[in-house]
Structure 1
Amino acid sequence: SRVLQGIGMGMMITLTTVIMATIVSPRERGKYNGYMAASMAVSTVAGPLIGGLIVDTVGWQWCFWVPIPFVIVVMFVVAGRLKVPTVHEGKAHIDFLGIALIGAAAASLLIWISSEGRDFALDAPVSIALILIFVVSTALFVFVESRAKEPLIPLYLFRNRTLVLSIVAFVAQGIAMFSIAVFLGQYFQYGRSYSPTASGLMTIPLMLTMMAASTIIGRRTTATGYWKRYVMGGLAAMVVGLLMFWPVTAHTNLVYIGVAMAILGGGMGAGNTLMVAVQNLVGLKVMGAATSTVMFFRTLAGAMGIQLLGRVYQTHVRDDIVGQLGAMPETSGAGELDFAALPDPVEAVVRESYGRELGMVFVVMAAFALAGLIAVSFVKGTSLRSSVDLGQVKQILEQEDDIVDGRSHTITDGVSLDNARTSGAVSPEESPENKDDDGESSAS
């Protein structure tokens, strides 16, 4: 069941972004990306809220059944209304071997991270086997991709410094985005005794500011054509918001926590503009590969982040409880603490530990966000182009060199450079004489 959901969601997340890229230029895409990011922010944060309400009222199974009517409606709307121009004709060559190898590498790494030290020791045969599977699968994947006709992840993309630095930033963003809701939910439920529904309601400041920042910054990106200042500002706000959780305990004022969540949500919303910057670098032919590559690393980082941070959280909580009680309370058959069965003094100690140790997890997240901020600072902040495909811009800019040299006065399709700019093929911000987001003169 989860495999089928994963396949469907993987297709949806990538294709919605690629479809947007085929019909909207990067300059205009900033606005629409803001709308999409806002809806994603709402769904990401509202998921635990609605899920908690469902669990508290009708049972956890309904978390999987409730979305079905919405999906059916969307299927009919998309089938009847969505018209997308053909970008690539001909037979597609699916890189099945590459898919299998990268799946094996990712799965073995995640299993090792989540289980090492708990289910088996570092030097155990199963641990060594998982490490070997990861290393061999990764090496074979690189070899296969270098020879595949249509590789799953084109290796030449990694020759672009901006793309590589953007992936670093997306890794940091993914770790924070996927982990925050999980650990805030644990904090409110375990550390402060709130129900799943109330825990979801507590994250509303995070949801509102993320939605507002995504929409506002998206429109500002379209209006100005620049993105770097907003991404850096968003990542900086994330660092500040995450560090504000350092002193949090089980008794911290909820207003303070709400302010920290608001700052954090605003930073996450502003940072979503980075995807538009990545798509600004590539043409439509590799738009799907570039988009899915970035999203793969962000999703993988999010999954790894939850496992790693979960181990940090549980280890610190366990050490704190053992330090106060001398031993861990008995757990249920599933290995979870049954708070209702704990004596009141023991329950108080356990909840104190869950509240007090949250700060360490958010400090680790802040370190990753800071790494993303540093990576983006080395990216050249060029303005966003106003044409859908990169090839059109390259053609016009190359022809401009001919115009300057006096060799030609028209481009190949018979449109002059001035007319091309006027018609929107190239915006004034994309001209070589204009400045980029860093204030330096360059062509985007």
Structure 2
Amino acid sequence: MVDVAKDGAQRSGGAQPRAGAQPGAEGKPGDEGKPSSGPQPRSVRVVILALMIAMLLAMLDNMIIGTAMPTIVGELGGLEHLSWVVTAYTLATAASTPIWGKLGDMYGRKGVFLIAIVIFLIGSVLSGMAQDMGQLIGFRAVQGLGAGGLMVGVMAIIGDLVPPRERGKYQGMMAAVMAVAMIGGPLVGGTITDHLGWRWSFYINLPLGAVALAMVTAVLHLPKKQRTKARIDYLGAGLLTVGITSIVLVTTWGGTEYAWDSAVIMELIAIGVAALTGFLFAETRATEPIMPLHIFRNRNFTLMSVIGFMAGFMMFGAVLFLPLFQQSVQGASATNSGLLLLPMLMSMLVVSMIAGRITTDTGKYRLFPIIGGGLMVTGLFLLAQMDTETSRLTSGIYMAVLGAGMGFLMQITMLVAQNSVEQKDMGVASSAATLFRTLGASFGVAIMGALFTGRVQDEMAARGGATATQHSAQLDAASLAKLPDPVREAYEFAVASGTHAAFLVGAGVAVVGFVAAFFVKEVPLRGAGPAPATAAAAPTGDKTVDSTVDQAGDKPVDETGDKTADKTVDKVAEQV
């Protein structure tokens, strides 16, 4: 088995891996002078497969649990606490994301990643054993804590193993995992709940997690990091956790549990602002900050954080409201709710694969955020035009346009963000990009949800009177079919009107991401480009790659250190 750790060969005096070095490409007899760009070793593909399984664990969980929730409430009771089953998981995931990223940077990613998987599996087992709603909520928080480490760990490890120039090859795999989770989650959840019981919705994570643990332990070999002497930034971690928790609670409770102008929401906003302000101050003084502020000085990194926030805002808003529209207005079955998103997800998958391949072959990427932003604005505007007469074919085409925009953005944002920082900050860069996308999703669901609910209630009151208003919470197609025709028609119009408002505002917000994309700078991606025609061209190509790393903002290449890190380049340099 080829040792993947060779991809991380370090320069003397720095944490930078050799630019363009492919995993397993060094140390073979007779390789002197050969270009480093070539097929990824089989070991790297096995590692990527293990990482994708871990990623699937985190993404699939909420989709499966959503289908099982009615059965869970029926057995455990506690309907008034239902929302906390999801909120506890989301809060723990968002709050722990930056901490997991920094721990990986400080102490090594493999060990931290394995700990995250174990915590997630422990939370899964405990959730399946819960005897009341309070226990379930607490155990879901444990699960969410592990999930935060899963997502960040996957992105950071891929950032360590695969140079940005080569990472486009794996974009299709990541998009496929997302599609499988969104389409298969509800179907799997319903099947498990009906035939095995709701507790197996949690236990199903165990075999997948065991496979991921075994594969990662066996084939993932990263350079060992020495334990840092600096203390963990406990103050920064605490303030950031309080700030993120306040933000997520505001977006979750605002307009639902509490009015937007209620004392609880105002207090949460004040606490969040104070905590985040204190966090910024603390990070300027910390020896080893939990989220170094200097990474935001890089224009591309900051722009990708903004674009990632907008992409999360739009994507999860669309995932929430498109099934509602198709079930309530177009009469689709709730059982196949995941399949309703197929046009959007397939479009996203295909475009992501094409964009990734082009990025790998050419090293160019600046055009993709611009095209993606434009398609998202267009797709959301088209979806805002849907009404009670819109056919499923037409809405499917609109969804495909939106999905194409997401395909250009979802993985490119992470790739460019990671390429904009030094290797030692790969974890915090990955966690920051993931956090902004998570917060974007939280804001998107909250804002678009508030607009949707308000418009539905207003239209029901205006068109159906008091009788229709009583049915404004019904979204099930079978239940709507039993309503009197005037009430059902009023409700269908109200849902279409609410969808129009939500997506129209979404299109307006997406314009911000579209404009931001024009300011992205085309910084060459670290990593090898296409192989030269002859081996004689290798030394020149190697120097070009080193120059690329310098342009990308990494530490200057030290010739002596380069020789120490890579014997192959040493021999080539002596020949020159």
TM-score (norm 1): 0.82
CA spacing shift, 1:421–1:187, aligned 2, 3 Å: farther
Give SS of 1:203's match.
helix
Rate the CA distance shift 1:394–1:87 in 2: closer, same or farther, 3 A: farther
Q: Deviations over 1:295-336 (max 9, x none)?
A: 11110111121011100111111111111012353369xx76
Query: 1:212–1:269: 8 Å Cα contact kept in structure 2?
Result: yes
* Shift in Å, 1:74: 1.8
Name structure 2 gaps, 5 residues minimum.
1-138, 530-544, 552-557
Q: Verify: 1:380 aligned to 2:521, yes or no.
A: yes
Mapped contact 1:113–1:307 kept (Cα < 8 A): yes
Counterpart position of 1:182: 320
Deviations 1:214-272, CA, capped at 9 Å, x for gaps: 11211110000011112221222222211111211233111111111112112211212
Does the Cα contact within 8 Å between 2:330 and 2:391 map onto a contact in 1? Answer: no
Contact 2:324 2:475 in 1 (8 A): no
Deviation at 1:67, TM superposition (A): 3.5
SS across alignment from 2:288: coil
For structure 1, list consecutive stretches of 5 or more residues without a partner in the other structure. 399-409, 424-444
Q: Distance in 1 between matches of 2:364 and 2:226?
A: 29
1:318 is matched by which residue type in structure 2? Answer: Q
Aligned-partner SS, 2:246: helix
Distance 1:127 1:269 in 2: 35
Structure-2 change in CA distance of 1:180 and 1:57 (3 Å): farther
1:297 aligned partner, one-letter code: F
Distance 1:367 1:55, change over 3 A: farther
Number of aligned positions between the proteins: 405
Inter-partner Cα distance in structure 2 for 1:66 and 1:229: 41
> 125, 145, 166: which is aligned to 1:7?
145
Query: CA distance change for structure 1 residues 92 and 48 in 2, over 3 Å: closer, same or farther?
Result: farther
Residue in 2 aligned with 1:357? Answer: 498
For the residues of structure 2 that align with 1:179 and 1:60, how far apart are their CA atoms?
Answer: 27
For 1:316 and 1:54, locate their aligned partners in 2 and report how far apart those are by CA, in whole Å: 36
Question: Aligned partner of 1:374: which letter?
Answer: V
Q: How many angstroms does 1:361 deviate by?
A: 1.3
Map of 1:329 onto structure 2: 469
* Cα distance in structure 2, aligned partners of 1:111 and 1:414: 49
Q: Which residue of 2 is the match for residue 438 of structure 1?
A: none
Of 301-310 and 322-331, the range deviating more from structure 2: 322-331
Secondary structure class of the residue paired with 2:559: coil
In structure 2, the partner of 1:67 is 205
Distance 1:125 1:278 in 2: 38
Deviation track 1:22-69 (CA, whole Å, cap 9, x = no partner) reads: 111111112223422332343244434544565677666554343332
Question: What is aligned with 1:22?
Answer: 160
Letter of the aligned partner of 1:301 in structure 2? Answer: G
Once residues 359 and 46 of structure 1 are traced to their aligned partners in structure 2, the CA distance between those partners, rounded to angstroms, is: 28
Matches within 5 A, 1:94-243: 94-121=232-259, 124-243=262-381
1:369 aligns with 2:501: no
**From 249, 252, 277, the counterpart of 2:390:** 252
Q: Give the alignment of 1:400-415 within 5 angstroms.
A: 411-413=559-561
Q: CA deviation at 1:13?
A: 0.8
d(CA) in 1 for partners of 2:279, 2:194: 45
Structure 1 residues 138 and 42, CA, compared in 2 at 3 Å: closer, same or farther? Answer: same
SS state of the match for residue 412, structure 1?
helix
Separation in structure 1 between the aligned mates of residue 516 and residue 162 of structure 2, nearest angstrom: 27
Q: How far did residue 179 of structure 1 move?
A: 1.8
Number of the residue aligned with 2:423: 284
Question: Relative to structure 2, which stretch is displaced further, 214-223 or 185-194?
Answer: 185-194
Deviation at 1:274, TM superposition (A): 2.1
The one-letter amino acid of 1:412's match is T
CA contact (8 A) 2:384 2:500 kept: yes
Deviation at 1:371, TM superposition (A): 1.0
Q: Are the counterparts in 1 of residues 457 and 469 from structure 2 also a CA contact under 8 Å?
A: no
Distance across 2 between alignment mates of 1:337 and 1:193: 10
Distance 1:306 1:357, change over 3 A: same
1:348 aligns with 2:489: yes
The C-alpha deviation readout for 1:362-398, integer Å capped at 9, x for no partner, is: 222222222111111111112212179xxx9479759
Q: Where does residue 434 of structure 1 map in the other structure?
A: none
> What is residue 36 of structure 1 aligned with on the other side?
174
* Amino acid corresponding to residue 372 of structure 1 in structure 2: G
Matched, 1:309 2:448: yes
The whole-number CA distance in structure 2 between the counterparts of 1:395 and 1:360 is 46
- Gap change, CA 1:261 and 1:122, over 3 Å in 2: closer
- Inter-CA distance 59–371: structure 2 relative to 1 (3 Å threshold): farther
- Percent identity, aligned pairs only, is 34
Q: Please say if residues 245 and 257 of structure 1, whose CA atoms lie closer than 8 Å, have aligned partners that are also in contact.
A: yes
Q: Which amino acid aligns with 2:147?
A: M
